[in-house]
């Protein structure tokens, strides 16, 4: 049994098993109004991971996530959407891959649009829905993932070495 547990430990981080749950807190708000797909955001570990009385992952350790999908809010009360995934945890021994995702949708503005149409006529259709938000302080649950398998990339076949062939040397004509 001990051997099986060691087999599932993250390489370089004894005591941190694949599948360990982490409580992560978002440090800064992310909204569909200002974010872009590919933007990264910072989280911190909110509860220490302790194994056999030893702290393996301390409170405050940094983790990173990335915006994967995004739809800005629009007119006619269309709300924004935001999808994000956890990437990795930073530890002194290196990066530990994480799994976890979150999707949020802003509140629809249908009622607001109806009121805007009553008040402003056709211009009321320009009323926008709310942005989707990941709020600072929100807690996300992530899990420690297996390290991605190294891709097997074929090594280039070395070309046959080219051996320069010396040009025929013609002796200079004898000078008188």
For residue 97, which phi and psi values (nearest 5 degrees)? -65, 145
Q: Is residue 97 part of a domain?
A: yes
Between residues 43 and 130, which one has the greater pLDDT?
Answer: 43
Q: Is residue 152 part of a domain?
A: no
Please name every residue paired with 78 in a beta bridge, in sequence order, or none if there are none: none
Residue pair 72/132 in contact by the 8 Å Cβ criterion: no
pLDDT at 84 over 70: yes
- Residues of the domain holding 94: 2-29+36-70+79-106+131-144
Domain count, the chain: 1
pLDDT at 147 over 80: no
Q: Is residue 138 part of a domain?
A: yes
Query: For 44-75, what is each residue's pLDDT tens digit?
Result: 999 999 988 999 999 999 999 999 988 776 54
Query: What pLDDT is stored for residue 171 in this prediction?
Result: 54
Residue pair 17/143 in contact by the 8 Å Cβ criterion: no
pLDDT at 114 over 90: no
pLDDT at 166 over 60: no
Q: Is residue 174 part of a domain?
A: no
Q: Is residue 172 part of a domain?
A: no
- Which residues, in sequence order, are CB contacts of 128 under 8 Å at separation 6+? 73, 74, 75, 77, 78, 109
Q: Is residue 98 part of a domain?
A: yes
Q: Considering the entire predicted model, what is its pTM?
A: 0.66
Query: What pLDDT is stored for residue 82 in this prediction?
Result: 87
Q: Is residue 83 part of a domain?
A: yes
Q: Is residue 165 part of a domain?
A: no
């Amino acid at each position: 049994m001990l051997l099986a547990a060691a087999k599932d430990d993250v390489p370089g981080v004894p005591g941190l098993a694949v599948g360990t749950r982490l409580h992560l807190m978002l440090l800064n708000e992310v909204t569909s109004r200002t974010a872009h797909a590919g933007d990264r955001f910072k989280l911190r570990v909110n509860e220490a991971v302790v194994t056999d009385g030893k702290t393996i992952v301390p409170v405050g350790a940094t983790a990173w996530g990335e915006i994967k999908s995004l739809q800005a809010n629009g007119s006619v009360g269309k709300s924004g959407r935001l999808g994000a995934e956890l990437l990795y945890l930073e530890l002194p021994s290196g990066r530990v891959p994480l799994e976890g995702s979150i999707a949020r949708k802003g509140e629809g503005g249908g009622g607001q649009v109806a009121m805007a149409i009553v008040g402003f006529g056709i211009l009321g259709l320009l009323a926008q829905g709310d942005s989707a938000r990941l709020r600072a302080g929100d807690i996300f649950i992530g899990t420690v993932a297996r390290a991605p398998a190294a891709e097997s990339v074929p090594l280039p076949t070395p070309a046959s070495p080219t051996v320069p062939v010396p040009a025929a040397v013609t002796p200079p004509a004898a000078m008188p």
